[in-house]
Structure 1
Amino acid sequence: IDPQNIQECVKDALKMCARKDFTSISFPALGTGNVQVSQVADAMFDALVEVVAKKSVSTLRLVRIVIFQTAMLTEFYNSMLKKENTDVQEEEDTDAQEANFFTESNKPQKPERFVFMDKEVDPACFHICGDSQAKVDEAKQWVKDLILKEQDSSIITDDAIINLTTSDRQRISNMINTMGVRVEQESSQDKLTIEGITKDVLKVTNEIQKMLQRIRSEEELSRSAELASTVVEWQYQQQGGQYQSFDLIHNFRLEQANETKKQHVEVTIQGRMYKVTLPNGPATDNHGNSLDIRRIDKAAHDSLPQYWDTMPDNYLCQSFPIQPGTSEHDEVLGLFQATCQNSVLKIERIQNPSLWRNLQIKKQEMDSKNCHQNNEKRLFHGTCPLIIDTINANGFNRSYAGKNAAVYGNGTYFAVEASYSADDTYSVPDSQGQKHMYLCHVLTGDFTEGQQDMIAPPAKSKSTTQLYDSVTDDPTAPSMFIVFNDIQAYPAYLITFI
């Protein structure tokens, strides 16, 4: 054995420590029976310095050299002092250089693609001893079962995963580091697999689902804002008298506030906060400076049904009696009498342009989201005479839900058959014994079975944030539908009967 062999042996041992994530190692004074002690010491310390300089043993913290003969101690000590004063030039290990080449700036970047790195952890090693192989195997299996019992995995499949922001990705990486979970993204990029301790997997999964729900809400807001911009445009007057359109989001929020009869709404104009007085302005900042605003109805002439009667400009809603014998009257009467034999006294058409346009915007959004056009149904809703004017002016409200509201969810109920809504429980008789029922346009969209005390439709699957549009009593043969968004139903006709 010569000093070169000794140096290679030490280097190999140190590299093994790196591969196995060892934190300490002990060497005997190698080959001192055939080689001078000083040469052995220099060779061993040279190997140590060389490996450490390459930064390839990041986990190694302690190296011991065990000397059995006191006479050798001085030689090893002197050699160590010499190396201690050596200026070690750090250099990248070849493998590390190759890794950096493929992980840093030289690698083509794909912004939509991201990778979550697993946290490096020290392995836990079990040494099992027993008086027989069978007992050792039994103990080994028991340990494995115990570990697996505490482990879990979760899969999230959602199109919104690709839209996770840099901040979202950093938060997921932080959770990986603090909780020790593993998060892997599939090549399809719309699936994440989370693995680790059960409670940590559950927590990380819930946090990611919240991120995806936020992204989905932002997408819904963006889509609704874009649809609203095709119907209405809010503008503010600039210096010089020219009008400038609000951005899509502010345009949508102004329209929402206007439709819900809010008196004021705050907006940002050129980086400054303004309070807009609705519906006609002005917009005023904190210093009292005012800007005129206006609302342009893009669909004032072409979005309303052609069979509607002309309304005065200052009327927000109006009811029109439908003459018996007309095709419109016969159609509504036929739908009612298909299942209900009560005598119809009159049929009125409810005209509310704002509610109608809201329904059309929501329908366009639903048609696009569900990739089909079968999202609207004509359904019945029995009502109390005391709230007819409120429904005509403001549409349906979940607080007016029927007595069955806790059975399939706390929403607004609509019946497939008029006979169901004609019951006194839903169509409450007035002082003259007359009852009232609406024939409605209802956006049921994609639906599923409802449940007691439900306040919103459930998600379409456990791994997505996309919700159903409505719920029903029986998805295969529904007799009723329940919606949780008030703009998904329009009171088209009011039927008075006995």
Structure 2
Amino acid sequence: MYLQPFQAEHKSYEKQLSDSASDQDDKDQNIDQTLINPSAQGLQRFDYFSRTKETATFRITALSLASANAAAAKLQKCYHENVKTPSYDTQHLERWDNLQRNSLLSACKQVHVDVTLNYNLNRIELRGFLSDLDRIRTHEIIKEAEQDVHEKQHALLMSKQVQWSRIDVDWTGDVLTPYDPLTNYRIEMAYINKDPNKMLGATYIDFAKWKELPETPGDPNHPPVSVHRHSITEEMAFENPQHWKGMGKNELDLVPLQENNPEYEKVETAFRESVKQPSTKIVRIERVQNTTLHKQYMALKAEMRRRVKDCERTTLWHGTKEKSVDGIVRFGFNRSYSGGNKRTAHGQGVYFATEASYSCHNQYAKKDSQGQRRLFLCKALVGKYVKGHKDMRVADHNVFDSAVDDVNNPGIFVIFKDVQAYPEYLIICKDK
């Protein structure tokens, strides 16, 4: 239906619809300027959405100012309903390198999405149109970055256990040239897992010949060179516990314990005395056998004992939800896998309780669809501890190894390194 208004009474109202969340200057923040290492403190904002110069102008023709304002209000409402501000918690945002950080910034800049890096909370906050946010692989970028940080942490610890080197030759004779920690870690993991060859870009390690060989035979830029493996820590420290079941070539196994087994009874007694709930029924107990994780734990223990003789607690509890169990069993207590309940009262680390009754609470050991809860009985390297606080991301000034709720009588321990605790047993229980 077309309405021809009276010429004398017709008025045209133009509304400029724009949204700006910043009064800052219009200086462009391009990715090239972010290549300098960040301070990783406070907030860093990148306004690719708020500062965009693209605007939309709508000319609204109506019979009255009230009608024009109503139409403009509806357009504004539609606009704001499509602007979203999701946030994503990370574990190690302050440890992201420039490549990881710029991968996120570049993806956001391309589709005009604001980014705030909140290093105080290890949180990424985005702002933009919903359709643009959906085009960013945010979860994949965060997952890849966190996994890379996690691998580098393991690599640093592995470099204190084992060092692989090239045997180069100069005028003085044979010279050992160590591989960098990340390459060293990848070579060692391939060696442990019996991978026949380990690619290193244009070369690979042939473990049968103990040589680094070029991928293309005869490549003059990468002549064959012998390699050497040196075990820094005594092999005794790396041996699996004697009571573990034989694992063959496997690096990981979950071993169910039989109820009439003394080991089962020992774990059951510790649980019963600590959970203090007679109505709780144990469904099963499984021993966690993770060779790589245990070796890393023992290496850190050997290092810590040089500073703190009594550095270990052997009976600590950690409650978690069902979907986090596999990550903990495989990779240890990385906060990405260990429950996600966002406990931060005593520090931003992984929490362990001296009493199973605390960890068994549904806030931590959440019931699954069958009403079952999951707790780990752990040993942890608490070392020298200090009273924690909610903003603590690492033990203060590297003087302390962990945080607690009460220095004189700790009921809660908080650790900040992935291999600082080992999950010895998984206990699955439910209410009778």
TM-score by length of 1: 0.45
Q: What residue number does 2:405 align with?
A: 473
Match of 2:422, as an amino acid? Y
* C-alpha distance in structure 2 between counterparts of 1:395 and 1:335, whole Å: 22
* C-alpha distance in structure 2 between counterparts of 1:365 and 1:378, whole Å: 21
Of 313, 316, 320, the match for 1:383: 320
Query: Are 2:165 and 2:179, in contact at CA under 8 Å, matched by a contact in 1?
Result: no
Of 420, 423, 431, the match for 2:369: 431
1:259 Cα shift? Answer: 7.2
* C-alpha distance in structure 2 between counterparts of 1:468 and 1:330, whole Å: 35
Q: What residue number does 1:287 align with?
A: 221
Inter-CA distance 419–252: structure 2 relative to 1 (3 Å threshold): same
| Other structure's SS at 1:487 match | coil
* C-alpha distance in structure 1 between counterparts of 2:206 and 2:286, whole Å: 29
Q: What residue number does 1:201 align with?
A: none
Inter-CA distance 394–226: structure 2 relative to 1 (3 Å threshold): closer
Of 331, 343, 347, the match for 1:409: 347
1:251 Cα shift? Answer: 7.7
Inter-CA distance 443–279: structure 2 relative to 1 (3 Å threshold): farther
Of 335, 338, 342, the match for 2:270: 335
Query: Are 1:448 and 1:475, in contact at CA under 8 Å, matched by a contact in 2?
Result: yes
> Mapping of 1:68-467 within 5 angstroms?
227-228=160-161, 232-236=162-166, 250=179, 254-257=183-186, 282=212, 287-291=221-225, 293=227, 299=235, 303-313=239-249, 315-340=250-275, 341=277, 342-370=280-308, 372-399=309-336, 400=338, 402-459=340-397, 466-467=398-399
* C-alpha distance in structure 2 between counterparts of 1:235 and 1:259, whole Å: 11
Bigger helix fraction: 1
Q: What residue number does 2:98 align with?
A: none
Query: Are 1:311 and 1:318, in contact at CA under 8 Å, matched by a contact in 2?
Result: yes
> Residue deviations 1:433-462, cap 9 Å, x none?
111111111100000111112110113xxx
Inter-CA distance 245–354: structure 2 relative to 1 (3 Å threshold): farther
* C-alpha distance in structure 2 between counterparts of 1:452 and 1:420, whole Å: 19
| Other structure's SS at 2:300 match | helix
Query: Are 2:158 and 2:185, in contact at CA under 8 Å, matched by a contact in 1?
Result: no
> Residue deviations 1:89-126, cap 9 Å, x none?
xxxxxxxxxxxxxxxxxxxxxxxxxxxxxxxxxxxxxx
Query: Are 1:436 and 1:496, in contact at CA under 8 Å, matched by a contact in 2?
Result: yes
**Structure 1: 5+ residue runs without aligned partners?**
1-220, 262-272, 460-465
1:425 Cα shift? Answer: 1.2
Query: Are 2:386 and 2:403, in contact at CA under 8 Å, matched by a contact in 1?
Result: yes
Inter-CA distance 427–255: structure 2 relative to 1 (3 Å threshold): farther
Match of 2:270, as an amino acid? L
1:398 Cα shift? Answer: 2.0
- With a CA cutoff of 8 Å and minimum separation of 6, indicate the structure with the bigger relative contact order: 2
| Other structure's SS at 1:391 match | helix
* C-alpha distance in structure 1 between counterparts of 2:187 and 2:363, whole Å: 35
Match of 1:345, as an amino acid? V
Q: What residue number does 1:493 align with?
A: 425
Inter-CA distance 279–365: structure 2 relative to 1 (3 Å threshold): farther
Query: Are 2:316 and 2:355, in contact at CA under 8 Å, matched by a contact in 1?
Result: yes
| Other structure's SS at 1:405 match | coil
Match of 2:301, as an amino acid? K
* Paired residues, number: 251
1:407 Cα shift? Answer: 1.2
* C-alpha distance in structure 2 between counterparts of 1:423 and 1:253, whole Å: 39
Query: Are 2:304 and 2:311, in contact at CA under 8 Å, matched by a contact in 1?
Result: no
* C-alpha distance in structure 2 between counterparts of 1:255 and 1:362, whole Å: 18
Query: Are 1:282 and 1:292, in contact at CA under 8 Å, matched by a contact in 2?
Result: yes
Instruction: Kindly report the root-mean-square deviation, in angstroms, between the aligned alpha carbons of the 2 structures.
Output: 3.6
TM-score by length of 2: 0.51
Bigger strand fraction: 2
Inter-CA distance 321–467: structure 2 relative to 1 (3 Å threshold): same
* C-alpha distance in structure 2 between counterparts of 1:448 and 1:355, whole Å: 26
* C-alpha distance in structure 2 between counterparts of 1:351 and 1:480, whole Å: 25
1:391 Cα shift? Answer: 1.4
In terms of Rg, which structure is larger? 1
| Other structure's SS at 2:379 match | strand
> Residue deviations 1:317-371, cap 9 Å, x none?
111111112221111111111121321111101111111010111011111022x
Match of 1:309, as an amino acid? K
1:227 Cα shift? Answer: 4.9
1:473 Cα shift? Answer: 0.9
Query: Are 2:159 and 2:184, in contact at CA under 8 Å, matched by a contact in 1?
Result: no
1:392 Cα shift? Answer: 1.1
* C-alpha distance in structure 2 between counterparts of 1:360 and 1:310, whole Å: 19
Q: Matched residues, percent identical?
A: 30
Inter-CA distance 274–473: structure 2 relative to 1 (3 Å threshold): same
Query: Are 2:346 and 2:403, in contact at CA under 8 Å, matched by a contact in 1?
Result: yes
1:292 Cα shift? Answer: 5.5
